[in-house]
């Protein structure tokens, strides 16, 4: 076995060694190389038995394996090979992220929204938040994936969106001045009031399986000659997946790709068009064929809700980038945090106090 010369970091070397000892590779790995794209967990490319695999080191109790499994079954994500010992192993899909692609912004948006529409139509009965539903038939959940009983008990459900808990956790990971703390407190209060009012207006908001981080870098244009356009793109990185309103996923799509709030109406309109096309193409997957009438009821997305979730999405992203900057001391994270907050500054003057200190 050989390690790519790019693996010079001691932590990467340690993880690569652990990766080579996983039972799915049986100490017969040919080569391991680092994948430097992405901003979260360590990722590697593994060559084994004349095939190539993608490996990601997960945080403890990650819900990504389960979310990835459901998405893979729906045909929108790479197939899972192995889950265990904090590792997620999938097939390696050769391609390029939309963030570096030659597609126009219109095309990137259309592709991403179409994938999200398919994600949102994954039956919630298969992603039940009740642990008992998964324990009744563990083989149905794991299929050919190596999951221990302990891992299964931790990964048998997807969490519901909890914005307050997410922000609270992020705030615990960063150091703020008193000025920054007060500005953030003011922002959160305004955002919470706006969201509460929006939910009063938009009754019976539909809850769906959301990706939670539809960054263009997570949309891969495959290098193949498939004639079916639906097979030309896959979505990856489900570590932020959750059960939430459609509007949240659209808002996070806008936030992570730095799309201005003035385009909310356009985004919601494009989503409705994608959903209509999806409902018309029922033979794409078994999931789409089994769409019920309730799926199409109340399917109109609310621009008002998207706007409210957009504010929270930007705040969540900026706090996460700031925590990474303070922890890793890498300037790219500070730049990303500032870039996110600038999307809010025109509508929320409190943000300028944060920006002034961060600069």
Mean per-residue pLDDT for 173-199?
Answer: 92
Q: Is residue 9, in this structure, part of any structural domain at all?
A: no
Please write down the long-range contacts of 126-132, taking CB distance under 8 Å and 24 or more positions apart: 126/70, 127/66, 127/67, 127/70, 127/157, 127/158, 127/209, 127/243, 128/157, 129/157, 129/158, 129/159, 129/160, 129/243, 130/157, 131/156, 131/157
pLDDT of res. 350: 85
- The CATH number of residue 167's host domain is 3.90.1200.10
Instruction: Give domain status of residue 36, yes or no.
Output: no
Q: What string of DSSP letters covers 44-96?
A: EEEEETTEEEEEEEPPTT-SHHHHHHHHHHTTSSPPEEEEETTEEEEEPPPEE
- In which band, very low, low, confident or very high, does the pLDDT at 354 lie, cut at 50, 70 and 90? confident
Count of domains in the chain? Answer: 1
pLDDT mean across residues, the chain = 84
pLDDT band, residue 3 (cuts 50/70/90): low
Mean predicted confidence (pLDDT) in 192-208: 91
The string of pLDDT tens digits covering residues 25-57 is 877 889 999 988 766 789 999 999 899 999 999
Which residues form the domain of 116?
A: 95-358
pLDDT at site 157: 81
Question: Is 324 inside a domain boundary?
Answer: yes
Residue 136 confidence (pLDDT) above 60: no
Q: Is residue 148 part of a domain?
A: yes
Q: Is residue 43 part of a domain?
A: no
Average pLDDT, stretch 122-140?
47
Q: 343 falls in which pLDDT band (50, 70, 90)? A: very high
**Angle between helix 105-120 and helix 264-280 axes, rounded to 10 deg:** 60
On whether residue 321 sits in a domain, the answer given is yes
Question: How confident is the model over 111-115, as a mean pLDDT?
Answer: 96
- 193 is a domain residue: yes
Q: From residue 242, how far is each of 166, 209, 248, 265, 317 by CA, in Å?
A: 12, 6, 10, 24, 16
Does residue 45 lie in a domain region? Answer: no
Q: Residue 4 above 80 pLDDT?
A: no
Question: 301-336, pLDDT tens digit by residue?
Answer: 999 999 999 999 999 999 999 999 999 899 999 999
């Amino acid at each position: 076995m050989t390690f790519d010369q790019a693996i010079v970091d001691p932590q990467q070397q340690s993880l690569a060694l652990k990766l080579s000892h996983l039972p799915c590779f049986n100490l017969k790995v040919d080569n391991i190389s680092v994948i430097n794209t992405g901003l979260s967990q360590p990722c590697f490319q593994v060559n084994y038995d004349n095939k190539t695999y993608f490996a990601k080191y997960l945080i403890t109790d990650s819900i990504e394996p389960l979310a990835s499994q459901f998405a893979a079954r729906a045909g929108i994500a790479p197939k899972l090979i192995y889950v265990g010992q904090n590792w997620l192993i999938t097939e390696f899909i050769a391609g390029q992220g939309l963030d570096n692609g030659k597609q126009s912004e219109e095309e990137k948006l259309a592709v991403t929204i179409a994938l999200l529409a398919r994600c949102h139509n994954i039956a919630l009965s298969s992603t039940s938040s009740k642990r008992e539903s998964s324990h009744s038939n563990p083989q149905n959940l794991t299929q050919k994936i190596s999951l221990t009983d302990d891992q299964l008990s931790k990964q048998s459900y997807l969490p519901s969106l909890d914005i307050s808990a997410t922000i609270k956790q992020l705030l615990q990971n960063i150091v703020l001045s008193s000025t920054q703390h007060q500005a953030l407190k003011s922002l959160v209060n305004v955002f919470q009031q706006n969201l509460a009012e929006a939910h009063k207006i938009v009754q019976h908001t539909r809850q769906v399986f959301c990706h939670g981080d539809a960054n263009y870098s997570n949309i891969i244009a495959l290098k193949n000659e498939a004639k079916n356009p639906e097979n030309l793109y896959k979505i990856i990185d489900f570590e932020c997946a959750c059960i939430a309103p459609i509007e949240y996923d659209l808002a996070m799509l806008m936030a992570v790709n730095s799309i201005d709030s003035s385009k909310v109406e356009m985004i919601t309109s494009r989503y409705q068009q994608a959903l209509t096309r999806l409902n018309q193409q029922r033979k794409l997957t078994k999931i789409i064929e089994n769409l019920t009438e309730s799926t199409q009821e109340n399917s109109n997305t609310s621009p008002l809700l998207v706007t409210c979730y957009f504010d929270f999405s930007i705040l969540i992203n900026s706090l996460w980038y700031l925590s990474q900057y303070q922890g890793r001391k890498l300037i790219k994270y500070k730049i990303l945090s500032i870039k996110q907050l600038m999307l809010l500054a025109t509508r929320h003057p409190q943000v300028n106090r944060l920006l002034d200190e961060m600069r």
